[in-house]
Amino acid sequence: MSDARRRSMKRSELVALQIIEDIVARGMVAGDKLPLEAQMLVEYRVSRSSLREALRLLDVQGLITIRPGPGGGTEVGQIDPTNLSGTLNLYLLMGRATLGDLLDAWLMVEPLLAQLAAKSKDREKVERILRGFTADATAAQRELAAGLAFHDAVAELGENQLLSLLLGAVGFLVTEQVRIGAPDFTLSSATIHAHKDIAEAILNGDEELAYISMREHLLEVKGEIEAVLSTATRKFLFAR
């Protein structure tokens, strides 16, 4: 980060950045305890109000978890795309983005992730994560959550942290838009079959087929979603 950008940040934002930098430098993982407040006040040479504001900023974004009461404390959080989706949604709403914008971005990027997943050298991980999606359809697989789980799996296997986080956040926003606008929506047989075909292409290491199959699938899903949501519902993301 440039010195000019750092100088423009609030003190609490700088402390939040320093905390994350230290979490990474120290190799800390989800669930690890951060130092007590008194220790952090000394370490970061900051006022109690600035430290607490910094911790609140990180807590809201899910990067840390603050547990009150005896035995509580501050812990390293999970890297979860759903937390990113909350911030992303605010920016998209402010920018008057439509569901169509979101779906188009999804359509452009996720086929690339499917291709990268097929290219993965960790075939054991690919097998572990995707084999379940090649089984015959069940009632549970028709739930929106199952569809999101499939796309999250592909994003994880793409082994690109930036794209995985962004696509995970986008997928969650799409799912929430459908859940709110069409609460009875379930995945079609064509969608479940497409998930199976994409999973098999990735499992077989067929990069081209994985890319093409994912693109065709998302084109179909885009049509299904736009068909069940009214024009008003699709106009601006999560406008209340």
> Is 176 in the same domain as 147?
yes
CATH number at residue 90: 1.20.120.530
**CB contact at 8 A, 179 and 144:** yes
For residue 119, the model assigns a pLDDT of: 95
Question: Is 240 within a domain?
Answer: no
Confidence of residue 2 (pLDDT cuts 50, 70, 90): low
> Is 220 in the same domain as 124?
yes
> Is 107 in the same domain as 70?
no
CA dist., res. 85 & res. 94, Å (int): 14
> Is 30 in the same domain as 113?
no
Confidence of residue 240 (pLDDT cuts 50, 70, 90): very low
> Is 92 in the same domain as 186?
yes
> Is 99 in the same domain as 68?
no
> Is 87 in the same domain as 72?
no
For residue 143, the model assigns a pLDDT of: 87
For residue 237, the model assigns a pLDDT of: 54
Helix axes 123-130, 144-157, angle to 10 degrees: 180
13 pLDDT above the threshold of 70: yes
Q: Which amino acid is at 200?
A: E
Question: Is 107 within a domain?
Answer: yes
For residue 33, the model assigns a pLDDT of: 95
Domain residues for the domain of 69 are: 3-76
Q: Which amino acid is at 171?
A: G
Tens of pLDDT, residues 170-183: 888 888 888 888 88
> Is 34 in the same domain as 147?
no
> Is 130 in the same domain as 209?
yes
> Is 114 in the same domain as 225?
yes
Q: Is the pTM of this model over 0.85?
A: no
Beta bridge partners of 66: 74
Range among 41-45, 223-227, 235-239 with highest mean pLDDT value: 41-45
Number of domains, the chain = 2
CATH number at residue 60: 1.10.10.10
